[in-house]
A and B are shown apart, each in its own frame.
Chain A
């Protein structure tokens, strides 16, 4: 099946710094990507929908100025956690749609903010 890759797979940063997570569709073009967040022992929560060439659409309660999403090409979307704090520590997962086909998920990126 289609491959979606995330980088980095894990990152540790100090409080107050910004962290960028990349999501790439390796063998297909993805006009739409989705970003999820998952806290320990909880289900995935959709954060935002990333559309190539336009602004992302954020779910209710997700701060767009804190979680910056850029979908500059058909194979790359980035999520930047700005001024990260310990409560932002989580597992961030992206998914990409191949045309109107199925969603495929990345391996996830674990963020730990000290």
Chain B
């Protein structure tokens, strides 16, 4: 699986949009971009994934650049409960491959 690079931390004001960048310059054509988050002392929670088109669900939006070398996870209206470590992972969907977690981005949402 391709390696990803994320900023170690970022702060966000409550109610504002949080834009989390991820670089994956070595991504392969059949690898998807996945985002998970981990709230303190809980298991990771799936957020969203995509291949090349932008995706949106009830939790977030995922914007993938045309060359697929980077992506941005957008939390449209951050709340205090969105404070967590966010992990960007690339892998082949449906494969038996194992998820390898990087360091992620610690997002702190402040009032």
Contacts and interface: CB of A to CB of B under 8 A. Distances in A.
B100 interface: yes
Contacts of A105: 36, 43-46
Contacts of A101: 94
Contacts of B103: 43
A93 interface: yes
Interface residues of B, number: 20
Interface stretch (A11-19, A63-71, A72-80, A106-114): A106-114
A95 B101 CA distance: 13
Contacts of A102: 46, 49, 93
Given A91-B41, A108-B41, A49 B98 contact: yes
A56 interface: no
Interface in B72-111: 87, 93-94, 96, 98-104
Interface residues of A, number: 24
A43 B101 contact: yes
Contacts of B38: 44
A25 interface: no
Given A43-B104, A102-B46, A110 B41 contact: yes
A106 B41 contact: no
Interface in A24-56: 32, 34, 36, 43-46, 49
Given A100-B94, A101-B94, A43 B43 contact: no
A34 B98 contact: yes
Contacts of A34: 98-99
B30 interface: no
Interface in B38-65: 38, 41-46, 49
Interface of B: 36, 38, 41-46, 49, 87, 93-94, 96, 98-104
Given A43-B104, A91-B41, A105-B36, 11 more contacts: A32-B96, A34-B98, A44-B38, A93-B43, A95-B99, A103-B99, A105-B43, A105-B44, A105-B45, A106-B43, A107-B43
